Structure 1
């Protein structure tokens, strides 16, 4: 559903660590069933598109995740036992930057 609903636009590229953090921070599953509660299928000239039920809420979530990540990364960097930001399995930092 990440690709179908074009969540890259709101939350950036999918990453397993990002997904794990989203689940942890919200208490939601962020699986196909949950994502379906946030989007609906619309038919435009015979083509089906996934559209957010509330675009303002999706914008809010995008900002909230980015702020939460920034705060937690600052805490992790200040902690000498951690000293690093959250990272995906390939070593890239977790990022909630939108992909237009």
Structure 2
């Protein structure tokens, strides 16, 4: 069978290498400008090992409270729409009844 040939993976090193500790300083040139200072290597900050559980608990409680508040607001909107629909329906039935009575009385 024919098998595809996959390309070799390319590995990229993303962490900079620290400069040599005994690097000789570069002398300024005779034109009078200053050469930029070499960037200082700074080790990454150590990762925190113990995080307080209270922070996660507070975020969870806040998320639940927000979800409940949103659910209450959406329910209230749906209830308002339902009440409006019922009111419009009742008004349409009453107007139809009044119009039918008016047309029946004035046909004679």
TM-score by length of 1: 0.28
Q: Which has the higher strand share?
A: 1
Q: In terms of Rg, which structure is larger?
A: 2
TM-score by length of 2: 0.27
